[in-house]
Chain A
Amino acid sequence: MMQLFDIIASAGLWAAILRIATPLIFGTLGALLCERAGVLNLGIEGIMTFGAMIGWLSVYHGADLWTGLLIAAVAGGVFGLLHASLTVTLGLSQHVSGLGVTLFASSFSYYVFRLIVPLANTPPTIVPFQPIAIPGLSTLPFIGPAFFTQTAPTYLAILIALLMAYIIFRTPVGLAIRMTGENPHAAEAQGVNPMKVRYGAVIAGSALMGMGGAFLTLSAFNSFFPTMVQGRGWICIALVVFASWRPGRALFGALLFAFFDAFQLRLQTALSGLVPYQLFLMTPYILSIAALAVMARRARVPQALMQPYRRGER
């Protein structure tokens, strides 16, 4: 019992929570944006993998870290364009197209990586984003080391969550996105072009997914290896439901999720040998499923989600 308390009271745990949450915040916001406009984007797992790979590769080849992050965002956007072409213009099954994007993007990432970086015993590394101590706040006892000495992309992710909440609920653009996700026909009657809105949302959302992946290689770790995304993309899809399609709750959900993840990591060390470590590794996935089961009924799904929109066809 004391052990549990010690874990929760350590600043290291809380610092880890923000770190673990960051890729989830990016990914969940990205998926949320797509779904708000009515497009389910199951390409997320692959797009995150590609973002992680291309961001790392750019920096490895001399780009600075911010450029690497930007390149990952652009690459994510390109995959978003692919998914939008298939689902918005052609109106194909969003499930299947997303799975296709995921399978393609992840295998393409591994291909490009292996092509440029030959097999080696120790993977090549880069110098990742360093923690920034926010002046004044970082010297606060406990809270300082936990929340105000993160790397720059973590602050950016939180900023984007707040910005997205503002855009979706307080601006005309946000209204157009929400209308398109609820009822594209009504949106069109109001002079909104649902096709353009969906394209924009899917491209921008996928760019965020790419950045979420890049965080893994540019900030959390310093190298790329296959399967490093480890289902984080799918967890993000679950978090969107948990968040009821609201950016603020997405931020909260990602942090809550990261709390359990960071906690189980520490519990794992504390209880090593007593309980199989695989049980701990399972918890993030079990939590996601539980979150879905609890929230799915209560959540207000965008009504036109997964429905292709064709002018004049109902």
Chain B
Amino acid sequence: MRFERREHRPLYLLIVTPVIAVIAALALAGILIAIAGAPVLDAYWRILTGAFGSRLSATETLTRATPLMLTGLAAAVAFRARLWNIGAEGQFYLGAIAVAAASSKLLGNLPAPILIPLLLLVGAIAGMVLILIPLWLRLRFSVDEVVTSLLLNFIAVLFVSMLIDGVLKDPLAFGWPQSQSVSDHAMLPKLIARSRLHIGFVIAIALAVIVHFIQSRTVFGMQSRAAGLNPGGAVFAGVPLGKTLVKVACLSGGLAGLAGAIEVMGVKGYVTTDLSPGFGYAGIVVAMLANLNPLGVVFAAIFTATMFVGADGMSRGLGIPTYIADVTVALSLLTMLIALFFTQYRIRR
């Protein structure tokens, strides 16, 4: 058996691929559900209705999808330039804690129309700062950024834990390590009354469109793609590789930091060390499922959020551990990888 590179990549394949990958992942996860002794189709039906069956669950799912879109975009823009930013989780936390600190210590008294954009900016900058460390190590010492950006996740969470145990601790939280709350007028406006869905959802989609525009229509987008496809060739063609990577990193880290900021200002109002149930890591899967396409990220994030939100109710009803959602999402990353391979190669006997 040998593989042969396809001359043309038919367009329909690129659209069908993620669908096939997700179905394959659901089938594989179905085997695990069946082994656990539960009816598979019923389980998936419960996941779907659990995620979209009511007004409340549907808005919950979209609320959950919001940070996933942003961390997914963060991974997608970085991976496209072959910048392996695995640190979105840490950047998320740093963005979140920066917002809590700025709101409670510095800017809290500003009026909402100035305060909210300012806080979002603060969160984004915090994320950028964190990703610039691994990038600097790569450019200066040629250290692979995968491990450094990942190790920084642990450091960032511990740093947040230190702050919410110390200077930023909420004295009213009965001793729980929890940051001071952001002021009421720093909270993002609700999109739909009597739900948690906030304006951050719209911001995330708008950013997906903007990133898509940047990548497909600007010189920077072209350069970042060239840097990923063939770094040597890109330098030869006059692409400033270092500068491009710095911009890509800032965009990526900024998006992840923004995800943390938006989660604090949209949902919780304060920071704890379980603010993120792995949004940074799930963002990697979201980006891969979307084949690194910014618009695809929106749909991939909604799929992932559907699994996470729906699995809760399914788990309670059928006694299947909620981890089945993580398993399915991780499996879809693997099946997507294989499916993408077959859009580029065909089997020749």
Q: Are B337 and A276 in contact (CB under 8 A)?
A: no
User: Is the CB of B154 closer than 8 A to any CB of chain A?
Assistant: yes
Q: Are B148 and A292 in contact (CB under 8 A)?
A: yes
Q: Which residues of A contact B84 (CB under 8 A)?
A: 95
Given the contacts A281-B158, A292-B147, A115 and B141 also touching, CB distance less than 8 Å: no
Given the contacts A231-B151, A238-B151, A276 and B166 also touching, CB distance less than 8 Å: yes
User: Is the CB of A297 closer than 8 A to any CB of chain B?
Assistant: yes
Q: Which residues of B contact A278 (CB under 8 A)?
A: 158-159, 161-162, 165
Residue of B nearest to A236 (CB): B147
| Contact of B341 (CB < 8 Å), options: A42, A90, A111 | A90
Say how far B27's CB is from chain A's closest CB, in angstroms: 15
B65-100 with Cβ < 8 A to chain A? 79, 84, 86
User: Is the CB of A125 closer than 8 A to any CB of chain B?
Assistant: no
Q: Which residues of A contact B284 (CB under 8 A)?
A: 99, 103
| Contact of B327 (CB < 8 Å), options: A104, A234, A296 | A104
Q: Are B327 and A96 in contact (CB under 8 A)?
A: no
Q: Are B337 and A86 in contact (CB under 8 A)?
A: yes
Q: Which residues of A contact B324 (CB under 8 A)?
A: 111
Given the contacts A92-B341, A97-B337, A296 and B155 also touching, CB distance less than 8 Å: no
Q: Are B321 and A115 in contact (CB under 8 A)?
A: yes
Given the contacts A107-B330, A288-B151, A114 and B323 also touching, CB distance less than 8 Å: yes
User: Is the CB of B32 closer than 8 A to any CB of chain A?
Assistant: yes
Say how far B133's CB is from chain A's closest CB, in angstroms: 8
Q: Which residues of A contact B32 (CB under 8 A)?
A: 111
Q: Which residues of A contact B214 (CB under 8 A)?
A: none
How big is the A interface, by class? 35 or more
A259→B4 CA distance, assembly (Å)? 51
Q: Which residues of B contact A100 (CB under 8 A)?
A: 288, 330, 333-334, 337
Q: Which residues of B contact A96 (CB under 8 A)?
A: 79, 288, 333, 337
| Contact of A103 (CB < 8 Å), options: B285, B320, B321 | B285
B263-312 with Cβ < 8 A to chain A? 281, 284-285, 288
**How many residues of chain B have a CB within 8 Å of chain A?**
43
| Contact of A111 (CB < 8 Å), options: B142, B327, B334 | B327
B32-57 with Cβ < 8 A to chain A? 32, 36
A99→B144 CA distance, assembly (Å)? 15
Q: Are A285 and B151 in contact (CB under 8 A)?
A: yes
Most buried by B among A230, A285, A288: A285
A238→B149 CA distance, assembly (Å)? 12
Residue of A nearest to B322 (CB): A114
Q: Are B165 and A104 in contact (CB under 8 A)?
A: no
A231→B151 CA distance, assembly (Å)? 7
User: Is the CB of B143 closer than 8 A to any CB of chain A?
Assistant: yes
User: Is the CB of B170 closer than 8 A to any CB of chain A?
Assistant: no
Q: Which residues of A contact B144 (CB under 8 A)?
A: 241, 292, 296
A86→B162 CA distance, assembly (Å)? 40
A108→B334 CA distance, assembly (Å)? 13
A286-312 with Cβ < 8 A to chain B? 286, 288-289, 292-293, 296-297, 310
Interface residues as binary, B107-146 with A (CB distance below 8 Å gives 1, 0 otherwise) = 0000000000000000000000000000001000111101
Known: A92-B338, A282-B159. 11 other contacts (CB 8 A): A82-B334, A96-B333, A107-B326, A111-B324, A230-B154, A231-B150, A235-B151, A281-B158, A285-B155, A296-B137, A296-B144
Residues on B lying within 8 angstroms of A by beta carbon are: 3, 32, 36, 79, 84, 86, 137, 141-144, 146-148, 150-152, 154-155, 158-159, 161-162, 165-166, 281, 284-285, 288, 320-321, 323-324, 326-327, 329-331, 333-334, 337-338, 341
